[in-house]
Amino acid sequence: MSDAALIDGKATAEALRARIAAAVATLPEPPGLAVVLVGEDPASQVYVRNKARQTHEAGMRSFEHRLPVTTSQGELLDLVARLNADPAVDGILVQLPLPSRIDANAVIEAIDPAKDVDGFHPMNTGRLAAGLPGLVPCTPLGCLMLARSVRPDLSGLEAVVVGRSNIVGKPMAQLLLAESCTVTIAHSRTRDLAEVCRRADILVAAVGRPRMIEGSWIKPGAVVIDVGINRVAAPDLGEGKTRLVGDVDFAGARERAGAITPVPGGVGPMTIACLLRNTLQAACRRRG
Ligand code: GUN
């Protein structure tokens, strides 16, 4: 079989952001997105900077709240309450992970579900499970859009999601079920993961372990969506150098898959584009 088609997340995200900017330009008031970052985690700081830039580029307002790592849970809950009450704020995102002293679930539950652009509030996860409209987590939404860009009709296909996190694995499974896939959620305790993956017409890898999914586990012709972003040593590039790799062994998988997302340039760019989409959706719903 010839090499898999590459699914271009960068171009797909750019096109989505352009559609969002065009819709924002028709609104009387720009939607507003508040992003809250507690502490100095370098990866989170990069995400937050990129979010602010792309929010502005889409014609939306960005409100950034950077709080010291010593912030108490009470102080964070007070800020969330102020953002809930602020009419200029349509979307609220509290960057995870939070310092371990803070109960992330308590913070998520404090966010107004109508402003929960991450889709993490139990009201929104419940609505997703019940097949009701609501705000859907950004990364799995981006994965679904990429899968549908190469297989517009997913109905009846075998989908395997590797990973059971609240942020990706569980909502991904719900979205694929809503597309009428036959869905399996696999995880670190799954017996014979290779055999389970070999069933997949659609394989979504969200485990956070570099190149864990081997090329020989891929069903010929499958659509492979790789959510992993892992930094690994790359001695071939020079001493001390690193590179980003996914959860899938890309070179091996590409020989068997029908289509595959690269890392970087696959799922990553879609996440912020979907965040902007959710912010626009929240603004339109809130303002009628
Ligand atoms: N940290 C990593 N991914 C995400 C995400 O999608 N939302 C939030 N709030 N934090 C994250």
ipTM for the complex shown:
0.94
Examine residue 274 and state whether it is found in any structural domain, yes or no: no
Residue 136, ligand 1, Cβ within 6 A:
no
In this prediction, residue 288 carries a pLDDT of 77
Calculate how far, in angstroms, residue 88's C-alpha sits from the geometric centre of ligand 1: 22
Please identify every stretch of the chain with a pLDDT value under 50, giving residue numbers as ranges: none
Map tokens 């929104």 to a residue: 124
Looking at the fold, whether 92 and 172 belong to one and the same domain comes out as no
Of 251, 278, 165, 259, nearest to 203 by C-alpha is 259
287 is in an annotated binding site: no
Question: Residue 216: how many CA atoms within 13 Å on its side-chain side?
Answer: 2
> What is the position in ligand 1's atom list of the atom closest to the CA of 275?
6
The whole-angstrom distance between residue 67's C-alpha and the CA centroid of its chain comes to 24
Mutate which of 44, 49, 95 for ligand 1 pocket (most atoms within 8 A of beta carbon) = 95
Of 91, 96, 171, nearest to 126 by C-alpha is 171
Domain count, the chain: 2
In this prediction, residue 2 carries a pLDDT of 73
- Tally the residues of the chain: 288
In this prediction, residue 1 carries a pLDDT of 57
Examine residue 235 and state whether it is found in any structural domain, yes or no: yes
Looking at the fold, whether 169 and 105 belong to one and the same domain comes out as no
Mutate which of 167, 271, 276 for ligand 1 pocket (most atoms within 8 A of beta carbon) = 167
The amino acid at residue 211 is R
Calculate how far, in angstroms, residue 147's C-alpha sits from the geometric centre of ligand 1: 21
Per-residue tokens: 118: 């991450």
- For residue 33, the SS3 value is strand
Examine residue 283 and state whether it is found in any structural domain, yes or no: no
Q: How far apart are CA 174 and CA 180, in angstroms?
A: 10
Examine residue 83 and state whether it is found in any structural domain, yes or no: yes
Q: How far apart are CA 14 and CA 116, in angstroms?
A: 23
Looking at the fold, whether 69 and 174 belong to one and the same domain comes out as no
Looking at the fold, whether 156 and 223 belong to one and the same domain comes out as yes
Residue 129 near residue 139 (C-beta atoms within 8 A): no
Looking at the fold, whether 153 and 248 belong to one and the same domain comes out as yes
Looking at the fold, whether 68 and 104 belong to one and the same domain comes out as yes
Examine residue 275 and state whether it is found in any structural domain, yes or no: no
Examine residue 277 and state whether it is found in any structural domain, yes or no: no
CATH of the domain at 47: 3.40.50.10860
Calculate how far, in angstroms, residue 258's C-alpha sits from the geometric centre of ligand 1: 29
Per-residue tokens: 1: 């079989």
Looking at the fold, whether 255 and 144 belong to one and the same domain comes out as yes
- For residue 173, the SS3 value is helix
Per-residue tokens: 262: 């690269």
Residue 93, ligand 1, Cβ within 6 A:
yes
Give φ, ψ of 227 to 5 degrees. -85, -20
Domain that holds residue 80: 29-113
Looking at the fold, whether 150 and 224 belong to one and the same domain comes out as yes
Give φ, ψ of 115 to 5 degrees. -110, 5
pTM for the whole thing?
0.97
Of 138, 86, 139, nearest to 111 by C-alpha is 86
> Hey, whose CA ends up nearest to atom 8 of ligand 1?
95
> Hey, whose CA ends up nearest to atom 9 of ligand 1?
95
Of 13, 15, 16, nearest to 280 by C-alpha is 16
Distances (CA, A) of 78 to 39, 75, 107, 131: 17, 5, 10, 32
For 85-125, write each residue's pLDDT tens digit: 999 999 999 999 999 999 999 999 999 999 999 999 999 99
Examine residue 125 and state whether it is found in any structural domain, yes or no: no
Looking at the fold, whether 102 and 148 belong to one and the same domain comes out as no
Residue 87 near residue 95 (C-beta atoms within 8 A): no
Active site amino acids: 51, 95, 118
Looking at the fold, whether 168 and 253 belong to one and the same domain comes out as yes
Examine residue 6 and state whether it is found in any structural domain, yes or no: no
CATH of the domain at 257: 3.40.50.720
